[in-house]
Amino acid sequence: MKKSKLKRLVCLTALTALILSAFSIKVSANSAQWHWSGVSSTGAMVFDEDCPIQVEKEILTFDIPRFPSNYYATAEEFLAYDAKVSAEYTFYNPSDLTITATLAFPFGNQPDYANTYNEQTGEYETATDAEKYDITVNGEPVNKKIRYTLKTNSQFNLEGDLKNLQNEYIIHSFYTPNTTVTKYTYVVGGENKEGLIGSEVGNYYTAATAGFDWNGGDGKTKIYFPHCSSYHLQNNGVGRFGAFVRNGNHITIYAFGEPLSEPITWQCYKNGGMKNGEEIFGLVSLISTQTTTFESFAFEKYSEDFGISRVDWYNAVLCSFKDNINGKTNLNVIEDYAELNSPYIERFISNLMRWYEYEITILPKQTIVNCVTAPIYPSIDLSYKPGIYKYVYLLSPASTWAGFKEIEIIINTPYYITESTIKGFNKTENGYTYKQNGLPTCELEFTLCTDPNPKKPTPPNIDGCRFFNLFNW
């Protein structure tokens, strides 16, 4: 009897990720096979370095009967939006193994307009669309889990995002479940209002700034400053960090790792400034100090009602710190780029990438048809007349299959394609089609509009200066 071989493997497949922002292009598509294993006819488990499964054909179908609204009054209205994308793969197993593969299909975060305001409860709510569609193998639905990771970038990155999809807590050298977290809460104006900021702070739009200087410490402490609104690096290499404040506001500082060795010294500045010479009178005093662990901190705002597993939630919180791309990491000060400390926790949830996790089994020399369907949301640019809607699907990950023979793209829509990175779409009665052997050399990006020739208005000239829309600054 032959000895069984055991080797670890992670190989890639062609599935889909879709990300939306109503005002900036964040839509993307990509895919990943999480892991696979094979069983020989003798029952031996076999793992190899390359996944043997081949793609005989991929049919990519976009059903876009209407454009989304950039606002929905209720969750029911949002969930009635029915545009979707389906990726149908004809998989062939050329090996002598029965292969079981676990697939992770990233289909994007919730769009901005999924958040609706409930007038009865006075709270913002996020409509959940992840269960709208099935995953099938040979026409039969298969079980799927909804998984979540924090996006590491504005566009999906397979290598970066897939490694954050784990079945256990992510191991990190600094952020561990037992890492000490010390929470310091301050009040502007003093606990007894003995140090109120005076009238020299300016008007309503130019609140005062409360700031502190920090040199980065010895690396054993990282500061999380969720209210940070301004930063200035001093000539001596010290960072000055500030928050816009008014009397009575609370400011929170977290110390990860060792507690602060010295109390923070706050200084108030006028008119939203933070430079030397702009100091004003005002007291920011410490009113409470609380100590907890990083694991407890991670679950402060967690609820099982979110439908997110504790493992996925913890790892998303961890990634918001370990992958903090906007923080002043050289000075060990972290900002709230993932909006974990937002008054509305839905903002943090909207930054989570959603995945379908499911399993397929293919017998030796067998062919199966696997279809994954997911909701699709474009980026929206209303500066054009009429507005344009851009969709992006990244095709390149499919090149990681052992073989890829044919792709067919179908766009069912009443609208016009005004731009496309892939040339050669044929106009049909129902929309557009495209077919070729092998994969295109570029990613698929296409723009739809109700008019074949939308016009981008010229910004008006005001006092000799071009005026740009606020969202384009």
pLDDT digit string, tens, across residues 226-282 = 988 888 888 888 999 999 998 999 999 999 999 999 899 999 998 888 889 999 999
| pTM for the full predicted model | 0.81
pLDDT value of residue 266: 96
DSSP, collapsed to helix, strand or coil, labels residue 200 as helix
pLDDT at 323 exceeding the cut of 80: no
CB 130 within 8 A of CB 80: no
Q: What is the DSSP letter of 74?
A: S
pLDDT value of residue 459: 65
Q: Which sequence spans correspond to the domains of the chain?
A: 32-151+352-449, 180-294
Tokens found for residue 159: 């290598």
Lowest mean pLDDT across 331-335, 380-384, 414-418, 459-463? 459-463
Query: Residues 405-425: pLDDT tens digits?
Result: 999 999 999 999 999 999 999
Better pLDDT: 26 or 320: 320
DSSP, collapsed to helix, strand or coil, labels residue 67 as coil
- Looking at the DSSP bridge assignments, the partners of residue 180 are 293
Tokens found for residue 192: 């007894």
Distance separating alpha carbons of residues 179 and 292, to the nearest angstrom: 9
Q: How many CA atoms lie within 13 A of 250 on its CB side?
A: 6
pLDDT at 12 exceeding the cut of 70: no
End-to-end Cα separation, the chain, in angstroms = 69
pLDDT value of residue 219: 86
Locus of tokens 């109503």: 22
pLDDT at 101 exceeding the cut of 90: no
pLDDT value of residue 335: 82
Distance separating alpha carbons of residues 267 and 277, to the nearest angstrom: 12
Better pLDDT: 470 or 397: 397
pLDDT value of residue 66: 95
DSSP, collapsed to helix, strand or coil, labels residue 261 as coil
CB 268 within 8 A of CB 210: yes
Segment (H or E) for 55: strand 54-63
Pick the CATH number of 32-151+352-449 from 2.70.150.10, 3.40.50.300, 2.60.40.3680, 3.30.565.10: 2.60.40.3680
Lowest mean pLDDT across 139-143, 194-198, 464-468? 464-468
Distance separating alpha carbons of residues 28 and 158, to the nearest angstrom: 11
Better pLDDT: 288 or 12: 288
pLDDT value of residue 329: 55
Distance separating alpha carbons of residues 147 and 135, to the nearest angstrom: 15
Identity of the amino acid at 322: K
Query: Phi then psi for 458, rounded to 5 degrees?
Result: -80, 130
CB 98 within 8 A of CB 38: yes
Residues 6+ apart with CB under 8 A from 343: none
Sequence length of the chain is 473
Distance separating alpha carbons of residues 23 and 21, to the nearest angstrom: 6
- Looking at the DSSP bridge assignments, the partners of residue 146 are 356
Q: Is 274 exposed, middle or buried (0-12, 13-18, 19+ CB in 10 A)?
A: buried
Q: For the chain, give the percent of residues with pLDDT over 70.
A: 79
DSSP, collapsed to helix, strand or coil, labels residue 251 as strand
Residues 6+ apart with CB under 8 A from 467: 459, 460, 461
Kindly report the number of other CB atoms within 10 A of residue 469's CB atom: 11
Residues 6+ apart with CB under 8 A from 184: 252, 253, 254, 255, 260, 264, 286, 288, 289
Four-point Cα dihedral 428, 430, 432, 433, nearest 10 = -80
Distance separating alpha carbons of residues 148 and 354, to the nearest angstrom: 5
Q: What is the DSSP letter of 422?
A: S
CB 182 within 8 A of CB 176: no
Residues 6+ apart with CB under 8 A from 429: none
Kindly report the number of other CB atoms within 10 A of residue 328's CB atom: 19
Q: Is 110 exposed, middle or buried (0-12, 13-18, 19+ CB in 10 A)?
A: buried
Better pLDDT: 225 or 206: 225
pLDDT value of residue 456: 85
Segment (H or E) for 192: none
Query: Residues 284-303: pLDDT tens digits?
Result: 999 999 999 999 999 999 99
